[in-house]
Structure 1
């Protein structure tokens, strides 16, 4: 994941905010963060969300991402000076502190390609949650097979780059049914001059059932499953899988509570 040019090549990173920008997930997460005093944005990318959260009152905000080129943009944006930016891998980073909210947005969780990677990322979430803290992330529902829309014919679009002008963009895609990993190409062709930028990326599509299983192993409990950033509940036809949860309560506490109940 750290070698993906889409996130590591400074010329390609310039297209990231143009293509993604401020979307429904950003608004939902900013609102969720409003009542929290400490926020960890794990996979913060160019820092658009983390900086916006940091500008709203006095909060401890940390943004972690493995891509130095994206963090360079994050540091320069308004509010970037209020965030502590850390270059690190979501599977292994340990900051030695906990947070009221740990979030991953923009389907960042899907860059973890194997079950081991995904479980490691969940353990990172658990390691940084305060006892009363909550986590939230999003992952596309594999049953919807959204990757089928990422063909050249269906994905072609024109975007406007502030310096390069009109840019023709499109994708191409390959799906491995054995691993569930989707490999997709991203192309940007500059209208003036015809220069083309290209990058190849891989993402995974873990199922809802797989996520449930890994949550248990990571010591996390999901309190609510959403199927979209409009707040709809998750079902098999939902385009998104969005868990909102917390740390599991230690078994010793649960046993003690049961013991006290049995005595009354």
Structure 2
């Protein structure tokens, strides 16, 4: 499904207003210190990728499947320091490796099936240098955060620099069979009382699901965080954040 939230330029305008620089950005900005090459897989509008590139001496590549998001990234001040690539995180192969491969903003959750998630993990492995590390975040399904995305609980007022005051809210449906959450995002513009909306789908793989895929993808997790404050993962943690590296290839027995 083509998600208008990321592909419709009029909706992409709201992305940085709603998300912006958050705790994950702070953590990843610190983690990137000392790295010379970074792949931001699912870079969106490029806020983080540009910040990392501006630290100097780093090769930074931002990949995203949404052309409208990349248009914003290219026009961002400092955007010329990043190489932007339109591509699918399941299949893209850049034929180069990086000290750090990251997916932030719960980008991993757009991969809806186990096959898609495994393909994305294999993309991470394909782009890791021998000493490189990866990190990404996915919401813990045990916390059931989607229950907070009802219209009553999610209603909020934001200010758009060109459109003025905007009333925003979400609505949500959860499929317990697949674990996929489908949610709607609405923006009602006060100036003309018009409303624009988008429908999105995301998956909530469990900790056990992720563990089972890592070895198959050729990855080893060194630590599991439960939040961007550095807490360890447990069943009550809001996030599942694996940090790891390439697995060690099996040694062939002597002949």
TM-score (norm 1): 0.95
After superposition, the C-alpha distances for 1:186-229 in whole angstroms (9 at most, x for unaligned) are 00000111010100000000000000001011010000000000
The equivalent of 1:177 in structure 2 is 176
The equivalent of 2:236 in structure 1 is 237
The equivalent of 1:8 in structure 2 is 7
Partners in 2 of 1:176 and 1:201 — Cα distance? Answer: 13
The equivalent of 2:70 in structure 1 is 71
Query: Where does structure 1 differ by over 2 angstroms across 4 or more consecutive aligned residues?
Result: none
Q: How far off its partner does 1:57 sit?
A: 1.1
The equivalent of 1:132 in structure 2 is 131
Partners in 2 of 1:161 and 1:35 — Cα distance? Answer: 36
1:19 aligns with 2:18: yes
1:208 aligns with 2:207: yes
- Pairs within 5 Å for 1:1-264: 1=1, 3-252=2-251
SS at match of 1:86: strand
Q: How far off its partner does 1:34 sit?
A: 1.4
Partners in 1 of 2:212 and 2:137 — Cα distance? Answer: 16
SS at match of 1:249: coil
5+ long unaligned stretches in structure 2: none
Q: How far off its partner does 1:73 sit?
A: 0.3
Partners in 1 of 2:235 and 2:62 — Cα distance? Answer: 32
The equivalent of 1:259 in structure 2 is none
SS at match of 2:251: helix
SS at match of 1:189: strand
Partners in 2 of 1:33 and 1:73 — Cα distance? Answer: 23
After superposition, the C-alpha distances for 1:83-116 in whole angstroms (9 at most, x for unaligned) are 0000000000000000000000000000000000
Q: How far off its partner does 1:78 sit?
A: 1.6
SS at match of 2:84: strand
SS at match of 1:196: strand
Structure with larger Rg: 1
After superposition, the C-alpha distances for 1:52-85 in whole angstroms (9 at most, x for unaligned) are 0000011000000000000000001122100000
SS at match of 1:206: coil
5+ long unaligned stretches in structure 1: 257-264
